[in-house]
């Protein structure tokens, strides 16, 4: 980070314990200052301050995720986090100050020397592999997120704001802006993201380092996306005839379209690169030359599975992964661990360090198939337990028994971490489909307990912690079974099973890139969105443009247009409203015509779109959209209907 603007110490919000030196960088929603600690080691730090009054909800979620993940990762080449907190109107994060440029700035002058490229590559590859071992995928590896220290030449990876935890949902993935020059094809089409996405992005960064340009450099964002999905990786031997032709195979493999065809790790990629170039990757340092003082994270929680209202339309911000459990029987205490039922439950929640839960964890429960205690995957929770039941009725009985024992008031939301006395009990949903209950109450030894049920999979989760905001933020990011497993169970248990013939016909009009985790929305949700008109309805997400998208097919254009509402004769064209995202206008798109309305919610800054298709009588509603340019690119190419 390089300082660009000198400011008096009084500039910026007063963060206790720090003195501002100068402004390093700024956006409309956040600023990064070079600051000095006023106590202790009096280190110089990069102090990132988020202004809550001007920040969109997705940026606030990114910031909170960055705090949580940065706290969990300790690596010599990942920018270290010292302290995080909240002051009136702002969140802040104090990090190590790397006195030097980012890689993006260096590459503006052309290719890097081979030795410098290898030095940086070895350190960043080791940092990424360390994150992958913690089941974290960075998802935004790019030159701007690689910092280089002027004094030592060492490289540091930063900005885990849109990282994804493979064991649970990532609150920041909704509307999270991708960097199309380096993003893997699966990120752009909404498919499951693994460590191979970071391997792909690092390969693209290294190609840029050696040639002076990204591998798929095109005129428009859509052309870049298309090239990543369809174009053959360029030959580096053509761009750099002075380099060995054998490098072509390294970059062909690193930029393979299918994740399994890529290198298994970032280090393997860099090792092959170095072997051909005749150099040696710079090994990671054993420890950076500074120390970490633990501090409690006090950042307001993001609710990962609660209903949020925008334009009278709720949606869920939650994602999970992996597969649906199979039937088994709870073992006697003397049976070797794990049984097949216990192994299924462990694989489902995806945690490590699991063991059979003691009998006291399920005292009074009936129909228990398996119960395990696991190590929490990140800070915020000190312990976690998962129990799977034979039936939903037995799961509900266990949850209701605990709620009754705690005397938790019904209707009080625990997900914000602000329930009075940390005592509450409320239902939560997935894309308007009811999933279960969320319970919070004080536990033993001044601890706190968060308990939740996932009824489609008959799973009860329980986590303990000390700080309400940190515990609920942990739950929002890391809890329980995956979306794919939940969606599969929800659809099988729907009446009639989803999809029906009409729903299948509607799904066929949704492009594959947006046909993710689709379910039938609840009757209440449909009434809220389109009234009592008989429609065929599906809801999918997330996509590269929006967190959640509803599609409604009407019997005729009259009822569709009545649902959409009156056109605005003087409305702005949303396709050109990239700064002030608001307007209503007719559109023509690839032969399809209709109306398009876009708007930004005043109190949250979140962006939404509603559009109609005259030929198919389908109305689309996209909520919690991301960057306007990315949203419009998605709408033009992947939103449908088609």
Residue positions annotated with a catalytic role: 140
Pinpoint the alpha helices (H) of 545-597.
557-564
Residue 542 preceded by cis peptide, ω within 30 = yes
Are residues 279 and 116 in contact, defined by beta-carbon separation less than 8 angstroms? no
C-alpha 447 chain-centroid distance: 28
Helix, strand, or coil (residue 106): helix
Q: What's the token pair of residue 467? A: 């700080």
Are residues 163 and 136 in contact, defined by beta-carbon separation less than 8 angstroms? yes
**Backbone dihedral angles phi then psi of residue 132, each to the nearest 5 degrees:** -65, -35
Among 130, 128, 68, CA closest to 479? 68
Q: d(Cα 396, Cα 487) in Å, to the nearest integer? A: 20
Among 555, 9, 621, CA closest to 311? 621
User: Measuring CA to CA, how many Å separate 294 from each of 18, 33, 43, 80, 300?
Assistant: 16, 21, 15, 12, 18
Q: d(Cα 370, Cα 625) in Å, to the nearest integer? A: 39
CA-only gyration radius of the chain, Å = 25
Among 263, 246, 245, CA closest to 254? 263
Q: d(Cα 639, Cα 622) in Å, to the nearest integer? A: 9
Q: d(Cα 92, Cα 431) in Å, to the nearest integer? A: 31
Helix, strand, or coil (residue 65): helix
- Please say whether the dihedral angle defined by the alpha carbons of residues 12, 18, 19 and 23, taken in this order, is positive or negative: negative
């Amino acid at each position: 980070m390089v300082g660009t603007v000198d400011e008096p110490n009084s500039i910026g919000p007063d963060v206790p314990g720090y003195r501002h030196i100068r402004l390093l960088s700024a956006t409309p929603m956040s600023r990064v200052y070079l600051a000095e600690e006023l106590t202790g080691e009096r280190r110089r730090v990069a102090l990132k301050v988020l202004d809550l009054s001007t920040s969109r909800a997705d940026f606030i979620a990114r910031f909170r995720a960055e705090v949580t993940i940065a706290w969990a990762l300790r690596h010599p080449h990942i920018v270290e986090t010292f302290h995080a907190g909240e002051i009136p109107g702002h969140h802040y994060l104090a990090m190590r100050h790397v006195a030097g440029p980012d890689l993006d700035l260096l590459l503006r002058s052309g290719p890097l020397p081979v030795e410098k490229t290898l030095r940086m590559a070895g350190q960043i590859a080791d940092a990424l592999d360390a994150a992958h071992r913690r089941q974290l995928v960075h998802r935004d590896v790019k030159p701007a997120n690689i910092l280089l220290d002027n004094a030592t030449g060492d490289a540091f990876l930063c900005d885990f704001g849109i990282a994804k935890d493979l064991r649970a949902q990532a609150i920041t993935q909704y509307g999270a802006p991708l960097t199309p020059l380096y993003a893997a094809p699966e990120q752009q089409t909404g498919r499951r993201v693994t460590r191979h996405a970071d391997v792909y992005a690092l390969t693209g960064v290294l190609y840029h380092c050696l040639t002076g340009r990204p591998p798929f450099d095109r005129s428009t964002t859509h052309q870049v996306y298309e090239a990543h999905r369809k174009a053959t990786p360029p030959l580096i031997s053509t761009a750099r005839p002075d380099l060995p032709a054998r490098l072509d195979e390294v970059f062909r493999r690193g930029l393979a379209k299918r994740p399994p065809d890529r290198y298994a790790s970032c280090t393997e990629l860099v090792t092959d690169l170095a072997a051909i170039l005749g150099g040696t990757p710079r090994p990671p340092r054993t420890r950076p030359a500074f120390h970490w003082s633990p501090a409690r994270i006090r950042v307001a929680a993001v609710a990962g599975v609660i209903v949020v209202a925008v334009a009278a339309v709720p949606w869920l911000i939650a994602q999970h992964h992996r597969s649906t459990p199979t039937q088994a029987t709870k073992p006697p205490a003397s049976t070797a661990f794990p049984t097949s039922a216990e192994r299924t439950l462990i694989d489902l929640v995806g945690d490590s360090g699991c063991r059979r839960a003691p009998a006291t964890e399920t005292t009074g429960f009936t129909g228990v198939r398996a119960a395990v205690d696991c190590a929490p995957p990140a800070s915020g929770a000190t312990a976690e337990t998962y129990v799977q039941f034979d039936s939903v009725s037995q799961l509900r009985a266990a949850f209701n028994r605990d709620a009754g024992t705690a005397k938790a008031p019904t209707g009080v939301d625990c997900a914000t971490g602000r329930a009075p006395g940390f005592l509450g009990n409320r239902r939560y949903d997935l894309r308007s489909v009811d999933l279960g209950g969320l319970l919070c109450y004080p536990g033993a030894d001044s601890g706190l307990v968060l308990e939740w049920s996932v009824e489609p999979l008959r799973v009860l989760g329980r986590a303990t912690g000390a700080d309400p905001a940190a515990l609920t933020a942990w739950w929002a990011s890391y809890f329980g079974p995956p979306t794919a497993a939940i969606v599969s169970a929800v659809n099988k248990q729907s009446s009639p099973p989803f999809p029906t013939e009409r729903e299948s016909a509607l799904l066929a009009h949704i492009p594959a890139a947006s046909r993710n985790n689709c379910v039938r929305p609840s009757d209440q949700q449909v009434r809220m969105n389109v009234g009592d008109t008989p429609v065929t309805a599906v809801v999918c997400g997330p996509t590269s443009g929006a967190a959640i998208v509803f599609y409604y097919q009407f019997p005729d254009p009259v009822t569709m247009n009545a649902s959409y509402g009156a056109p605005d004769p003087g409305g702005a064209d949303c396709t050109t409203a990239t700064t002030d995202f608001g307007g209503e206008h007719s559109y023509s798109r690839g032969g399809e015509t209709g109306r398009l309305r876009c708007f930004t919610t005043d109190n949250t800054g979140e962006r939404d779109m509603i559009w109609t298709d005259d030929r198919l009588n389908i109305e689309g509603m996209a909520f919690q959209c991301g960057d306007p340019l990315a949203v419009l690119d998605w709408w033009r190419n992947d939103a449908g209907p088609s």
